[in-house]
Amino acid sequence: EVTAGRAIIVTGVGQHQMWSAQHYWYDKPNSLISSGGLGTMGFELPAAIGAKVGLPDDCVWCITGDGGFQMTVQELATAIQDDIAVKIAIINNGYLGMVRQWQELFYERRYVATRLSGPDFIKLAEAYGLPALRVRSKAEVIPAIQKAMNHQGPFLIDFVVEPEENVYPMVVPGAAITEIIEAPREKVEFAGKPRNISNL
């Protein structure tokens, strides 16, 4: 609503990528930039900076996860040094979210190497000289986005979200598109074994 669907949205890969594709209203052609299925975590921040340099009059948002953001966080220095007014939204669930989702659904919640203790992103942004806000409630979302968009330079928002929020629809590894899981209560099969995920 705040961007009126006119922003350039740049994502990495993972749950934030899916949510950006599903829930943002794109009212302008060619306004979603993503590495698609290439699995390039960390793509989003440098790509968003490049998009803003190439389209200086457009509002450019980097939508990232707390995992992918840490892979190219040093590019905050570029945004500050060259005054590139990219807006950064970290979807912070404390996990490598897409991997955690697979482990939840298909490996009986045996979480391995997915939990992130992560830095304090507000302090990290401030260390680079970037203004930043943390959002923990729905009521804070629109004011935070408005503040970021009204700021002339780069701006970071750390959106703290539910750790085990999942993204749907999804396709099980090795399955056909016709076997898509559209909701968390479907029975699925993985590695030849039925999995009932109705309790999720």
Which of 182, 134, 183, 123 has the alpha carbon at shortest distance from 161?
134
Domains in the chain: ranges and CATH: 8-165 (3.40.50.970), 168-200 (no CATH)
Q: Of 1, 36, 6, which is closest to residue 21 (Cα–Cα)? A: 36
Q: What is the pLDDT of residue 10?
A: 98
Sole residue written with tokens 């085990």: 164
At 179 the pLDDT is 87
**Which stretches does DSSP call E strand in the chain?**
8-11, 32-34, 60-65, 87-92, 132-135, 155-160, 187-190, 193-196
What whole-number distance in Å separates Cα of residue 14 and Cα of residue 138? 22
- Residuewise pLDDT in 10s, the chain (200 residues): 899 999 999 999 988 998 899 989 999 999 999 988 788 999 999 999 999 999 999 999 999 999 999 999 999 999 999 999 999 999 999 888 788 988 888 888 899 988 898 899 999 999 999 999 999 999 999 999 999 999 999 999 999 999 988 999 988 778 899 988 887 755 455 545 555 444 44
Dihedral sign (CA 161, 164, 165, 171): positive
One-letter amino acid identity for 114? T
